[in-house]
Amino acid sequence: MQKKSKIYFVLATAICGLFCGCYYDGETECYDTKEYISISILSTTKIDSVDIYLNGEQVCHIDYAYHFVKPANNEYFYDEDFHKMLSGENLCDSLEECPSWYDLGCYLRKPPNKIRIQDTLVSMHVFEGLQRKEQKIIIPAIGGNYINVISEQDSVMWFSYKENPIRPFASVFDSPASSNRGGCYDGYCVATLPIVEEEYCYDK
């Protein structure tokens, strides 16, 4: 009986060590948000994919676009999946008849992407179907910012929004009218918003 008790004790200790070791131990590693960049390419025209370069080095390939649609009689844009759930007077006859935005986002951080946050020359290869466009834009103070790159033909509409036009809430789109405008280059305009948090922390 004593031998069995010892076996059970050893097994219990091993199992506890296996699972308890996975629990959060309270240790975190924090990074200054100036080491982060969030870039969103926004257009009312569908973009199939975008390659983003910093000083000639490719840092992002984005081949998925979020599609935000403004339902009839509504003030805000929602993900198109939400639109599919609507009915009656809030539902447009088709997505093509609803005002909409396409958003392709790229999120980078110095660790582990090893980006050089002082870089300000950003170039993009934008693919619309088989058509490829190359844009070069200049973004001052690139680190620690949400960067919105808006199709120039849509910029008047974008900057007319005094509040976040897109639901669910995302600070990357907050208050387009009060964002810092950085000029227009090759058919796209740049606007930045500072990342509010001072640092991001992760479990070690």
Distance CA 175, CA 159 (A): 8
Q: What is the pLDDT along the chain (204 residues), one digit of tens a residue?
A: 444 433 333 334 433 443 343 344 568 888 888 888 888 999 999 899 999 887 778 888 999 988 888 887 778 888 887 767 766 666 666 666 678 899 999 887 766 666 666 656 678 888 887 678 878 877 765 788 888 999 999 999 999 999 999 877 788 888 999 999 988 988 899 998 888 888 888 887
* Cα of 150 vs its chain's centroid, Å: 14
- DSSP letter for 21, please: T
Helix, strand and coil in the chain, % to nearest 5: 25, 40, 35
* pTM for the structure as a whole: 0.76
Work out the number of other CB atoms within 10 angstroms of the CB of residue 14: 10
What SS3 class is residue 114? coil
pLDDT digits (tens, 9 = 90+) for 87-113: 666 666 666 667 889 999 988 776 666
Rg over alpha carbons for the chain, rounded to the nearest Å, is 23
Exposed e or buried b for every residue in 30-53, given b needs 16+ CB within 10 A?
Answer: eeebbbbbbbbbbbeeebbebbbb
- In this prediction, residue 79 carries a pLDDT of 85
Distance CA 155, CA 67 (A): 17
